[in-house]
């Protein structure tokens, strides 16, 4: 009887030990994993200013701004061209379709949610991206929360950086996209 208890205790401990090991190992491998896809893209946004309808790619749909200079409450819908280099007039390889709004009273700060829609001979499918644009930081991380087609069920991180800001009506973001799940 005593031997049996001893034996089962031994196996129980062995079992727990192995579980701990595999949990630790998987945490480690997640943290040090290399991306399965990595690419850089440029996002161009031309805001409608009242007269540039032909070229605008985004428009404010609400501007219940609080008093102040930081557009708190302004909501912008966009369908923006995505290019491989930083030239606005390069042929777009995808569109970014989505929205952002400003959400800080005492500084510029925004929140983004959009889909990169690829429809070319190279890539077909979508990548869904969202997150806080903490504009005081030089680089900001958005979450890649999913995808379809060539990017089926993908997840990862899109690190963005403001590449240029021209007045109130044009800005360009450099997006460094690292996908950690590819199927
Ligand atoms: C649209 O862009 C083209 C090419 O950059 C430019 O020649 C034209 O003046 C722009 N039109 C408007 C309304 O901004
Ligand atoms: C809007 O943008 C166009 C093109 O950049 C520019 O020619 C025009 O003067 C701007 N209009 C206003 C009201 O800022
Ligand atoms: C939004 O509204 C605020 C306050 O009325 C104004 O200062 C700002 O210029 C507006 N932004 C745009 C893009 O129209
Ligand atoms: C994708 O491209 C094809 C070929 O150019 C076109 O027929 C189709 O309408 C496009 N689809 C979307 C969703 O833009």
Alpha-carbon distances of 36 from 85, 158, 173, rounded to whole Å = 22, 14, 23
Whether 73 and 89 share a structural domain: yes
Sign of the alpha-carbon dihedral angle for 139, 142, 143, 148: negative
- Alpha-carbon distance of 154 to 131, in angstroms, equals 16
Q: Name the residue with the closest Cα to ligand 1, atom 12.
A: 52
Whether 20 and 46 share a structural domain: no
* Number of the ligand closest to the Cα of 89: 1
Lowest mean pLDDT among 13-22, 39-48, 145-154, 174-183: 13-22
Whether 56 and 6 share a structural domain: no
Q: Write the Ramachandran bin of 68: left for phi over 0, alpha for psi from -120 to 50, otherwise beta.
A: left
- What's the 180 CA to ligand 3 centre distance in angstroms? 39
Whether 2 and 79 share a structural domain: no
Ligand 3: nearest atom to the Cα of 47: 13
3-state class (DSSP) for residue 79: strand
Whether 55 and 129 share a structural domain: yes
- Measure the CA angle with vertex 57, ends 78 and 141; round to 5°: 45
- What's the 170 CA to ligand 2 centre distance in angstroms? 11
Whether 132 and 86 share a structural domain: yes
- DSSP designation for 17: H
Q: What share of the chain is helix, strand, coil (3-state, %, to 5)?
A: 15, 50, 35
Whether 99 and 146 share a structural domain: yes
Domain assignment of residue 41, given as a range: 35-181
| 9 or 57, greater pLDDT | 57
Would the pLDDT of 23 be above 60?
A: no
The overall pTM is greater than 0.75: yes
Residue 114: half-sphere exposure toward Cβ, Cα within 13 Å: 27
Q: pLDDT at position 168, please?
A: 84
The per-residue pLDDT for range 69-111, each reduced to its tens digit, is 899 999 999 999 999 999 999 999 999 999 999 999 999 999 9
**CA dihedral in degrees (63, 167, 70, 95; nearest 10)?**
60
Instruction: Tell me which residue of 96, 66, 60, 87 sits closest to 168, measured CA to CA.
Output: 60
Would the pLDDT of 19 be above 70?
A: no
Whether 138 and 74 share a structural domain: yes
Whether 51 and 101 share a structural domain: yes
Evaluate: CB of 122 within 6 angstroms of ligand 2: no
The per-residue pLDDT for range 154-165, each reduced to its tens digit, is 999 999 999 999
Whether 2 and 45 share a structural domain: no
Give the domain CATH number at 64.
2.40.480.10
Whether 24 and 70 share a structural domain: no
What is the arithmetic mean of pLDDT over 122-127? Answer: 96
Number of structural domains, the chain?
Answer: 2
The per-residue pLDDT for range 44-70, each reduced to its tens digit, is 999 999 999 999 999 999 887 788 889
Whether 66 and 126 share a structural domain: yes
Evaluate: CB of 4 within 6 angstroms of ligand 1: no
Would the pLDDT of 126 be above 90?
A: yes
66: β partners: none
């Amino acid at each position: 009887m005593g031997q049996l208890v001893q034996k089962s205790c031994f196996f129980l401990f062995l079992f727990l030990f192995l579980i701990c090991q595999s949990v630790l190992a998987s945490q480690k491998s997640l943290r040090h994993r290399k991306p399965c896809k990595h690419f850089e893209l440029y996002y161009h946004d031309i805001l409608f200013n009242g007269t540039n309808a032909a070229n605008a790619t985004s428009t404010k749909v609400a501007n219940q701004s609080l008093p102040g200079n930081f557009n708190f409450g302004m909501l912008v819908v966009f369908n923006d061209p995505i290019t491989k280099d930083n030239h606005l007039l390069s042929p777009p390889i995808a569109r970014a379709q989505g929205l952002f709004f400003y959400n800080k009273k005492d500084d510029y700060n925004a929140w983004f949610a959009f889909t990169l829609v690829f429809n070319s001979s190279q890539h077909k499918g979508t990548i869904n991206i969202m997150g806080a644009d903490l504009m005081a930081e030089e680089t900001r991380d958005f979450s890649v929360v999913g995808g379809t087609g060539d990017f089926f069920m993908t997840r990862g991180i899109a690190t963005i950086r403001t590449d240029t800001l021209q007045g109130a009506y044009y800005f360009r973001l450099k997006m460094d996209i690292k996908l950690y799940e590819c199927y």
